[in-house]
Amino acid sequence: MALITRLIGFSFTVAASCPLAAQSLDMGARGLALANAVVVASRFPFEPVNPASAMEIHSLAASFSFGQAHGLSELRHESAVVVYPFGETLTGATLQSFGFQTYRRLTAGLVLSTQIMEDIRLGIRTTYRRVAVAGYGSRAAVGVSAGWQAGVTEAIRAGGAWRYIGAPTGFRNRLLSQELSFGFDARASPNLRLLAAIAREVSSDADLRIGAEISLIDSVRLRLGTGTNPDRITFGLGLTMRTASIDAGVSVHRILGPSLCATVSLE
């Protein structure tokens, strides 16, 4: 009976932690500041962004993020991404850590993104996730995600992704949560970029995400956004230098307060 109780407790703890662990910090500071409306716009294949999004990278590039949700040290997030192009094909590796000593989630992924036609990209990502809860042990799962991007006009791109295809949908077994997403990236003017996306995770309501990126000067960008699930407003800044960029993002939950993230990228 004690063993059964511990197993049930472990399953419940992991399942209950998944929605919280899937905070928008997973998408880096730029994604956070744009309310995660980056199904098309992200340059780096952070989890769980569209794996076809690793574009506009022409040499070895790396990105590192650190964040904390709602002011709680227990909800700390670190991630690293390395991307290398082979012609029109890009390969990437990601590593993420979330949580603290009692609850720790480690996620590793391999990404492949390639251009199959003049303006169409496809991407695939394989993910390994391990969750350990003190006193209960650990569990692990492997998932596969796929995505696409295509040009609609010279100024508009569309894209979509299916995250963790075929992953279990039961609440207790949900180490990897299936999600469908679709979005647009529109260049409204040389200094204004508008983004919109809708994402729906299994057993959850859809999240409508809207973001705007404004170029204040050549090297500084202001970002604003809003989302519906959870209800939040977001904002941030990006600074681009010759071989590096620094991004900061804040997402303010109506009840739980702000989540913060900073990202440094090198190319």
Q: What is the pLDDT of residues 150-179, one digit of tens each?
A: 999 999 999 999 999 988 766 556 788 899
Residue 5 pLDDT > 80, yes or no? no
In this predicted structure, the answer to whether residue 1 has a pLDDT above a threshold of 50 is no
Looking at the whole model, is its pTM more than 0.85?
Answer: yes
* Measured distance CA(142)–CA(27) in Å, rounded: 19
> CA-CA distance, 164 to 141, in Å (whole number)?
10
The mean pLDDT of 83-103, rounded to a whole number, is 92
Strand partners, 197: 183, 209
- The string of pLDDT tens digits covering residues 27-55 is 899 999 999 999 998 777 777 789 998 66
CATH (one of 2.40.160.60, 2.170.150.20, 3.90.1300.10, 2.40.10.10) for 2-266: 2.40.160.60
**Domain limits of the chain?**
2-266
For residue 167, CA distances in Å to 124, 142, 162 come to 15, 8, 11
